[in-house]
Structure 1
Amino acid sequence: MRLLRRVTAASALVAAVALAGCTTPTEDPPESPKPSAAPVFASEEEALAAAEEAYTAYLAMSDEIATGGGKDPERMRGLVTADQFEEEIASFAMYSERALRLSGSSSFRNFRLQQLHQEGGRVDIAAYACLDVSGTRLVDEEGQDKTPNPRPDLVPLELRFENAGAPPKLLLAASDVWEGGGVC
């Protein structure tokens, strides 16, 4: 019985190969459209404005989640890249683990373009910003201030954004403290 199955399987394989060789060639499939050579953003100013808008949305959602004690951090999806999302989840976990929440809201200023790279439909933007957390406090469940003291009220950041398809939507890909100074 095993021999019959092997022979049958081998016969089916030989028949499939033979039939494949007997088919008439078809026309070549149409080529995939090539990525547009036109840049996504017409100017550095337009790219910077889009990055600033993306960071504004990110910061508002970040404050909202932190104000809620880190609950529902998945709301960050669509505002950050997949890698950055994992960092956000870990950061918000601190709020629930320590029973803390944010009081107040953050802001930023001095948003500046560091670098713009556009190729095909891909965009990478690096920018500097001065994060202002002077209007925020960390509080516990009783409302007691648990803000670290001392804490810098102004934090210079280097931010990186990537686009997420068409139409272009910038996502925050990285947010790091910038040691270069000068932006705050």
Structure 2
Amino acid sequence: MPQTSRARSASTIVLTAGLLALTACTGPEPTPPPKNSPPVFENEEQALAAGTEAYESYLGVWNRVVADGGVDAARIDEVTTGELRTFENESLSKLKELGWTFSGAASLEVFTISDWYSKPDAAGVLIVGSACVDMTGLHAMDGAGESVIKPERPAKRTWAVHIAPGAADQPPYVLAKHEVIKEGSSCGE
């Protein structure tokens, strides 16, 4: 009998040592992410300020790329995301192919928000709004020096805008959607 209990004792020791080795290899339980992260915006004023700043940043980069005739259109990536990024890159790259030269700039006249979220919605959107842009300061000439801007071009263009959180290498807020919704002689039309 003493041999049996020695065998049991040896196997118990081996099993215990194995379990201890396994538990020693595992680290502490990971800390779960906080269930309630703080809101991005506490009120509409903060959302409006962030949306306005994001749109002005976008328009600034857009104006610089246009002024350079579409050269290095990928600069627009700094201030856009998703499908809008692809669309803007393709559109701005075409300017280089056309050989047009640009002067002046488009300018933001009014930015308004129709909705804002304290956290991104399912599509990643934080702010839904519109931007009315004055286009009268932007001029374009073809290779012969002739204006390519039609005299009947509307002075103002209003865009539906979605603002989303920026990636780590971007500003805090970037454009995710930018579609013309109306054109006219003023923002109120």
The interval holding the TM-score normalised by the smaller chain is 0.7 to 0.9
Mean CA deviation greater in 143-152 or 56-65: 143-152
- Which one has the largest radius of gyration? 2
The unaligned stretches of length 5 or more in structure 2 are 1-17
TM-score normalised according to structure 1 size:
0.76
- Seen in structure 2, the aligned counterparts of structure 1 residues 71 and 27 have a Cα distance that, compared at 3 Å, is closer
What is the CA distance between 1:147 and its match in structure 2? 1.1
Q: How far apart are 1:32 and its partner, in Å?
A: 3.4
Partner of residue 140 from structure 2, selected from 138, 141, 162: 138
Using the TM superposition, name which of 102-111 and 163-172 deviates more.
163-172
- Does the CA contact (< 8 Å) of 1:38 and 1:120 recur in 2? no
Post-superposition offset of 1:129: 1.7
- The one-letter code sitting in structure 1 at the alignment partner of 2:181 is W
Shift of 1:57: 1.2
Q: Over the residues paired in the alignment, what is the CA RMSD in angstroms?
A: 2.9
Q: Which whole-Å CA distance do the structure 1 matches of 2:56 and 2:47 have between them?
A: 14
CA shift in 2, pair 1:180/1:45, >3 Å: farther
* d(CA) in 1 for partners of 2:77, 2:188: 28
Moved more, 65-74 or 112-121: 112-121
Q: What is the aligned partner in structure 1 of residue 22 from structure 2?
A: 24
Deviation at 1:43, TM superposition (A): 1.2
* Sequence identity (%): 28
Query: Where do residues 103-182 of structure 1 align in structure 2 (5 Å cutoff)?
Result: 103-119=103-119, 124-164=126-166, 169-179=172-182
1:65 matched residue in structure 2: 65
After superposition, the C-alpha distances for 1:9-37 in whole angstroms (9 at most, x for unaligned) are xxxxxxxxxxxx97634466313322643
| SS, match of residue 41 in structure 2 | coil
Offset, 1:183 = 4.2
CA distance in 2, matches of 1:163, 1:35: 19
CA drift at 1:123 = 5.2
Q: 2: CA distance between counterparts of 1:132 and 1:168?
A: 24
Count of matched residue pairs: 164
The question of whether the paired residues in 1 share the 8 Å contact of 2:78 and 2:171 is answered with no
Matching residue of 1:96: 96
Stretches of 4+ moved more than 6 A in 1? none
Q: Structure 1 unaligned runs (5+)?
A: 1-20
Give the TM-score normalised by structure 2.
0.74
SS in 2 for 1:119: coil
